[in-house]
A and B are shown apart, each in its own frame.
Chain A
Amino acid sequence: MSRFPFSENGQAATDCVLRVAIHGAAAAFFSTLCCLAALIATSCAQKDGAGMPDNRGVATRGVLRVDLNIYNPGTIPAGIGEPNKVSAELAESWQAGRKGPRIRYQPLIQTGASEGEWLKTQLIGGVAPEIINLNAEIAWPDVGKGWYVALDPFLEQPNPYAEGNEHWIELFSNQDLVNAKRAPDGLLYCIPLDIVETGIFYNKDLMAQAGITEFPDTWHDMLDVLDRLQAMKLVPMTSVANLGSDWGQDIIFEMLYHDILPEMDLAPSRPDAEGYLGHYLEPREAGFLFTKGFFSTRDPRWREMNRLLLEWRGYWARELKNTDPMRLFLTGRLAMLWDGSWSIRRMVTDPYVDFEWGIAYIPAITRETSPYASGTPATVIGGAAIQLHVTHSAVLNDNLDDCIDFLMYLTAPQNIERLASEALVFIPNIRGAQMDPRLEPFNEIFQRRYCAIKWLESFDGEYKKYWRRMLDYYLNGGVDLDEFLVMLEDNFAKWVEAHRGEPGWDFEPLEAVWQQREANLIRELEPAR
């Protein structure tokens, strides 16, 4: 019996082939090991410089890993035009003649979940990029863990790259917006580099065919216009990525509750952010008001908000999730597209745009539409776009000063202007930085009040996911308004129960204010005559 597990019947040739094969496999195996070792050694020894994005997540000394999101080199904003180059050039010029770490752009891995599970794993391991873009509200629950660096002391220093600047913080043009990004502990962990806003791109040619010469001023007129467009077998209006339902409920909410918001705002916003967050309801306030009957089946405005949303949805694309609204718009099958300022880039560069178009905003809801309407203009949905945080990797890798210096360099007016002009998606939030005039309509819209609450962003975890899912179900005819309101109420109750008593969820101060305003507010829970 051979110890070699093959036939022993004199198959010398076969043995020979097998022997060669096995020796070859062994050689290949060890060669692969050697190559792997060599690759690892090379990547460690390699000099990292600015260039195309790199996904390596290994903390490396001598390198600053930076995520500028839509400004990263190689990124094609809005999916059209030339890839970004300016961020790489800025990194090169910052590094030139300077001793210290080099910039390596490293985009964050998008997991598709706004909670940023991937980033959390990196932060726990201390290997996250030093500078990352993240919505400040997502970072807030984690600032107490020491994962982010408070930037306040640095913001008080002068920015040497901005001429005449004495305090870096003064360089930001919208101070209310900056202060609105302060974490609940009062500290600022991010730099709101620029501003994003939404608007309605509308096809003037299609509107003219429907006999419409002006964009409607009121919600009532808008529904009339949408009716006429629908009669032309067009998709009258829709939003990008099914965000219309999310944005829509925030906008309608404010217009229906506007008159009673000063009373409902039991915990006023920071005075230094009042211009942006005036009467904004924080999650704790929303939770408290729910326990008093607001945002429940008892609340007539709440019912009205969801009724109007469903009525509006009747004019949107049938397939909300899978439809590419930009394609519909460009091919003349969609008359109005509710989208972000980032789409301006496509609109001004896409060769398919062979029609007259304009930018407008959601019109005001008036008493013609609802007895609860305030008649005030619809609020802003956007806000800070790129929000740069410095993670504790900068402290661990001993390059915090370099991170701050690079951020100062980026926020110098001449540099942010170059970044913003190349991308043509957001409005720079830096004094002295010129905005591309094509973004002006969005800048005008941004001068309005901010919405009173971002409902889905206020909720978290499974409660947020459930709301989003059920909203989608409701808007697609899965349940009627009464059933939907019961679902929302149930979800709200569970959410409040899960958070009640947590830090930042103290109801006692709110209760004291409520006692003073109870009579007025309880009256608002009665249906309008």
Chain B
Amino acid sequence: MQRAVRRRRKADQPPLALIYGLLLAPAAFLVTFNYIPAFSALYHAFTEWDIGGESTWVGLANFRALTGDPVFHKSIVNVAKLGIFAFATHLTVPFVVAEMIFHLKSERWRYFCRVAVVLPMIVPGVVTFMLWSYIYSDAGILTELLVRLHLHDWVRGWLSDPKTALWAVAFVGFPFAGGFNVLIYYAGLTNIPGSVLEAAELDGLSAPGRILRMHIPLILQQVKLLVVMTMIGVVNGFESIYILTMDGGPGYETTVPGLYMYLNGFSYQRMGLACAIGLLMLLFLLAFTLSLNRFIRTEDYEPEV
């Protein structure tokens, strides 16, 4: 009887070959468009290569060139500044917003606020950057506002002035209160068991005390995730700079390693050097993530029964 049931089920089930066959297509695309280019870049970091031409093995020459390249050094300094700014804003402001939503009494308001912070995510990033480009322009909102306030001396070419260009790029997205980071923090906060929150309240812990001593330690996993993601975004991202300043200018004031990699690969026809920059970025991110995992250990909260 059991054998008959098993045989019938076997007949009803799709053949394994079909399943694996269907998996083949995405796997082929994944290998072709993700893995092969990635491994090719690893190899080409040690070559002199112009796309379309022959690549020549040059060993560590590209890396040596980068160690003496002032533009690359400048790009590292720039990305470090952007990174510090991003950590200071993209990790803290969303946390404050998530806490505020979490503390709302009305579920309806909480829902409304969640939607409100997520809604801007539907605007494509390119559109946001172009909007900010307009905000910074001579005919833009920022200039208009300052002129209306009779602060003519404050008006400047925000993206053209070497003193302000990098900070103008960093400020894109102000007030940094929306989007994904808020949701992650909020999810972490809602995961804290109600019993723990009640106990803290009964023990007379003040609101700031609850946040510092209880919320933050209990959402450390989320913090870690956001730290890693922010770092990846800062190191790899250059779209905003490319759209706002076009070439990482004025001079090299807004050039970051990601943009320098792009310029080397597609504007200066030095794909080997571009791959070397890419490899260095990868190694940095790998080291950063591993260090974070090693030094900041987090465990899921398991309430004692």
Q: Does A308 contact B (CB under 8 A)?
A: no
Residue in B13, B244, B251, B269 whose beta carbon sits within 8 Å of that of A322 in the complex: B244
Closest to A479 in B: B251
Q: Which of A323, A324, A465 has the most CB of B within 10 A?
A: A323
Q: Does A3 contact B (CB under 8 A)?
A: yes
Known contacts A476-B160, A477-B161, A477-B162: A19-B12 contact under CB 8 Å = yes
Chain B residues closer than 8 Å to A321, beta-carbon distance: 159-160, 245-246
Docked CA distance A69–B18 (Å): 50
Q: Is the CB of A318 within 8 A of B267?
A: no
Docked CA distance A22–B250 (Å): 55
User: Which chain B residues in 70-94 approach chain A with CB under 8 Å?
Assistant: none
Minimum CB–CB distance from A111 to chain B (whole Å) comes to 9
Docked CA distance A461–B12 (Å): 65
Docked CA distance A16–B13 (Å): 8
Closest to A465 in B: B267
Please classify the interface of chain B as helix (H, G, I), strand (E, B), loop, or mixed, using the class held by over half of its residues.
loop
| 22 pairs from A and B in contact (CB 8 Å cutoff) | A2-B13, A4-B13, A4-B14, A19-B13, A22-B18, A29-B22, A29-B25, A318-B155, A318-B161, A319-B136, A320-B160, A322-B244, A323-B139, A324-B139, A328-B139, A333-B138, A472-B160, A473-B162, A473-B249, A476-B162, A477-B161, A478-B250
Chain A residues closer than 8 Å to B22, beta-carbon distance: 22, 25-26, 29
Q: Does B268 contact A (CB under 8 A)?
A: yes
Chain B residues closer than 8 Å to A2, beta-carbon distance: 9, 13
Render B128-145 as a binary contact track against A, CB cut-off 8 A, 1 for contact: 000001101111100100
Known contacts A15-B9, A19-B14: A322-B159 contact under CB 8 Å = yes
Minimum CB–CB distance from A96 to chain B (whole Å) comes to 42
Q: Is the CB of A319 within 8 A of B159?
A: yes
Chain A residues closer than 8 Å to B252, beta-carbon distance: 469
Closest to A334 in B: B138
Minimum CB–CB distance from A498 to chain B (whole Å) comes to 13
Q: Is the CB of A469 within 8 A of B139?
A: no
Q: Does A331 contact B (CB under 8 A)?
A: yes
Docked CA distance A479–B158 (Å): 17
Question: A-contacting residues of B (Cβ < 8 Å)?
Answer: 9-10, 12-14, 16, 18-19, 22, 25, 52, 133-134, 136-140, 143, 147, 152, 155-163, 244-247, 249-253, 266-269
Residue in A3, A317, A461, A469 whose beta carbon sits within 8 Å of that of B249 in the complex: A469
Q: Is the CB of B253 within 8 A of A319?
A: no
Q: Is the CB of B162 within 8 A of A478?
A: yes
Q: Which of A235, A321, A473 has the most CB of B within 10 A?
A: A321
Known contacts A26-B18, A319-B158: A478-B246 contact under CB 8 Å = no
Q: Is the CB of B16 within 8 A of A3?
A: yes
Please classify how large the interface on chain A is, using the bins under 10, 10 to 19, 20 to 34, 35 or more.
35 or more
Q: Does A124 contact B (CB under 8 A)?
A: yes
Q: Is the CB of A331 within 8 A of B250?
A: no
User: Which chain A residues in 315-341 approach chain B with CB under 8 Å?
Assistant: 317-324, 327-328, 331, 333
Q: Is the CB of B267 within 8 A of A476?
A: no
Q: Does A99 contact B (CB under 8 A)?
A: no
Q: Is the CB of B267 within 8 A of A472?
A: no
Q: Does A462 contact B (CB under 8 A)?
A: yes
Q: Does A233 contact B (CB under 8 A)?
A: yes
Q: Does A113 contact B (CB under 8 A)?
A: yes
Q: Does A439 contact B (CB under 8 A)?
A: no
Chain B residues closer than 8 Å to A328, beta-carbon distance: 138-139
Render A4-21 as a binary contact track against B, CB cut-off 8 A, 1 for contact: 110000000001100100
Q: Is the CB of B18 within 8 A of A124?
A: no
User: Which chain A residues in 169-205 approach chain B with CB under 8 Å?
Assistant: none
Residue in A22, A327, A472 whose beta carbon sits within 8 Å of that of B139 in the complex: A327
Chain A residues closer than 8 Å to B160, beta-carbon distance: 318-322, 472, 476
Docked CA distance A113–B158 (Å): 25
Known contacts A2-B9, A124-B52: A318-B138 contact under CB 8 Å = yes
Chain A residues closer than 8 Å to B19, beta-carbon distance: 5, 22
Docked CA distance A481–B266 (Å): 31
Q: Does A56 contact B (CB under 8 A)?
A: no
Minimum CB–CB distance from A117 to chain B (whole Å) comes to 8
Minimum CB–CB distance from B128 to chain A (whole Å) comes to 14
Docked CA distance A230–B147 (Å): 14
User: Which chain A residues in 20-38 approach chain B with CB under 8 Å?
Assistant: 22-23, 25-26, 29
Q: Does A353 contact B (CB under 8 A)?
A: no
Chain A residues closer than 8 Å to B18, beta-carbon distance: 22, 26
Closest to A8 in B: B9
Closest to B264 in A: A462
What are the 4 A-B residue pairs with the smallest beta carbon separation, nearest first? Answer: A318-B157, A473-B251, A478-B162, A319-B157
Q: Does A395 contact B (CB under 8 A)?
A: no
Chain B residues closer than 8 Å to A15, beta-carbon distance: 9, 12-13
Minimum CB–CB distance from B249 to chain A (whole Å) comes to 5
Docked CA distance A46–B163 (Å): 57
Docked CA distance A73–B12 (Å): 57
Known contacts A19-B12, A23-B14, A476-B160: A322-B134 contact under CB 8 Å = yes
Q: Does A470 contact B (CB under 8 A)?
A: yes
Q: Is the CB of A323 within 8 A of B267?
A: no
Chain B residues closer than 8 Å to A238, beta-carbon distance: 138
Minimum CB–CB distance from A22 to chain B (whole Å) comes to 5
Minimum CB–CB distance from A391 to chain B (whole Å) comes to 18
Q: Is the CB of A462 within 8 A of B268?
A: yes
Minimum CB–CB distance from A520 to chain B (whole Å) comes to 38
User: Which chain A residues in 434-484 approach chain B with CB under 8 Å?
Assistant: 461-462, 465, 469-470, 472-473, 476-479
Docked CA distance A19–B8 (Å): 14
Docked CA distance A348–B159 (Å): 32
Q: Is the CB of A469 within 8 A of B247?
A: yes
Chain A residues closer than 8 Å to B245, beta-carbon distance: 321
User: Which chain A residues in 256-304 approach chain B with CB under 8 Å?
Assistant: none
Chain B residues closer than 8 Å to A478, beta-carbon distance: 162, 250-251, 253
Chain B residues closer than 8 Å to A318, beta-carbon distance: 138, 143, 155-157, 160-161
Chain B residues closer than 8 Å to A461, beta-carbon distance: 268-269
Minimum CB–CB distance from A396 to chain B (whole Å) comes to 20
Chain B residues closer than 8 Å to A23, beta-carbon distance: 14
